[in-house]
Amino acid sequence: MYTETAVFDLLLPGDSRSLKQKRAYVRPIIAMLRKFEVSVAEVGMHDLHGRALIGVAAVAAEPSHAREVVDTCEHQVAGRPEVELLSVRRRLYGDDD
């Protein structure tokens, strides 16, 4: 069993000056990522209005499949015109970890 994780650091538009406006950007991204059957949540920068950290985890029998699923998630987030993907931290966990 293999688990691939990724944390997406997002820059939100300048008009997200409240937590309510921030949620209006983050919730659709989380909903879109769930369609890929991954675990996903906002995992950091909760108090910063213009930034968000979204974590994704995929579990698969083969490392290549877990990597492929997270690659798809990364491409989907990077393609969102309303946010800027600043960085991605990824890690693959195997049976020995």
Read off the pLDDT band of 52 (50, 70, 90).
Answer: very high
CATH superfamily of 2-92: TT1725-like (3.30.70.1120)
Residues 6+ apart with CB under 8 A from 21: 15, 49
pLDDT over 80 at 79, yes or no: yes
Read off the pLDDT band of 74 (50, 70, 90).
Answer: very high
Amino acid at 68: E
Residue count (the chain): 97
**32: burial class by Cβ within 10 Å (0-12, 13-18, 19+)?**
middle
Tokens found for residue 20: 């309510």
**Residues 2-46 pLDDT 10s:** 999 999 999 998 766 788 888 889 999 999 999 999 999 999 888
**φ, ψ (nearest 5 deg) of residue 73:** -60, -45
Sequence spans of domains, the chain = 2-92
Is residue 76 within 8 Å of 31, Cβ to Cβ? no
